[in-house]
Amino acid sequence: MRFFSLGMVVWLAVALSVPPRAAAQKATGRVEPLRGYTIMAGALGRAPKDAKDMWSNTVAAHLSFIEKARINLVVVELPYGISKRYPKSARVASFIRRLKKKSVQVWVIYPHVLAQTFDLPRQVDGDGKRVEWKVCFNRKKTQDWLVDNGKRIVEAYAPDGLLLFGLFHKGGSCHCDSCKKDKDARSGKSMERFFLRFSKELHEVQPKINLGTTGFWARPSRKALGAVDIVSPVVGIFRPGYAKAGRVKKELTGLRSRYKGKLLVPYVKLFLASQTDSKTEDVLAAAREGLRYGDGFFFWGYNPGHQYLRQDYDHEKIESALLGLAKNKRK
Ligand SMILES: [Zn+2]
């Protein structure tokens, strides 16, 4: 009696040859390097008022750039301008659906300027001054707000990733009365507790969500490592030659050794070239370093519709260089 059909033998051979799933691929299993940029959710859909209006943020401009430069990651910044309905916006939801159809990965980043909009507890700097635009992450009110709104964001948009901006795990960055009294706030332990809670509650809503921050622990504990999926250090392109001087490489190789198996995607912060003297080539050098020493990059402050940036940077050159990087895959 033939016990196995040929089909079964082939199936068995294939099944046995499949390597075990790597633990590091927990999140999305994506290995393609990420090439992305942030969009300001509140300004999405804004057309220039007249020929002199420098600011536009049309869906058409984004979709065209995404197509031409083969962008595969869009990081949506909330909430700019949608604070009353925070975080829901039908326009943003529809844009995200279109991105997903194109297999573009979507992350959402917050808080940022939420401190003022929602009157969350503020940080106090080393000189005892209240910093209006920075939230104190150690306070229960802030933490509850972050978790509740994280859940609402996930329910509204089902993004692939969620990044907390400005959260620095190591502690000691805030000098408010509450942080001064709290040993765990200074050591960073309370940040770890918060992030573990954040991870647990967000995964209950969307089990496959990737979570990350723009800050990190100097020596992450095993627990902390388990909760973090994305590490996005802020790399500011303040000066010409910044990437070439090896600063991006140094930052990324250091983080890579501490955060093995995590998505390491630097948040490349651009400013108007006229404010920083940085050139188109500096922007592209940072992107290349992100691909070489990390898992990609995303630009902040770069928007294909912004005429301001078109004045300062060579948009066509950036578009074609990004397409070249997409074709090259790695390095
Ligand atoms: Zn504080």
Q: Is 119 left (phi over 0), alpha (psi -120 to 50) or beta?
A: left
For the chain, the straight-line distance linking the first and the last C-alpha, in angstroms and rounded, comes to 55
What is the residue-level pLDDT of the chain in tens, covering all 331 positions? 444 444 444 434 433 433 333 333 344 455 689 999 998 887 788 887 877 776 778 898 899 999 999 999 999 988 644 455 666 788 899 999 999 999 999 999 987 667 777 788 999 999 999 998 888 989 999 999 899 989 989 998 999 999 998 877 777 789 999 999 999 988 888 889 999 999 999 999 999 999 999 888 878 889 989 999 999 998 887 777 777 788 889 999 999 999 999 999 999 887 766 677 778 888 899 999 999 999 999 998 777 766 666 677 888 899 999 999 999 865 4
CA 135 / ligand 1 centre spacing (Å): 8
CA 176 / ligand 1 centre spacing (Å): 4
All domains of the chain in start order, with CATH: 26-328 (3.20.20.80)
CA 151 / ligand 1 centre spacing (Å): 24
Q: Are 151 and 201 in contact (CB under 8 A)?
A: yes
- What b/e readout covers 220-245, taking b as 16+ CB neighbours within 10 angstroms? beeebeebbbbbbbebbbeebebbee
CA 233 / ligand 1 centre spacing (Å): 22
What does residue 236 show for φ and ψ, rounded to 5 degrees? -90, 125
CA 140 / ligand 1 centre spacing (Å): 10
pTM of the model: 0.85
Cα 300 to Cα 320: distance, rounded to the nearest angstrom: 19
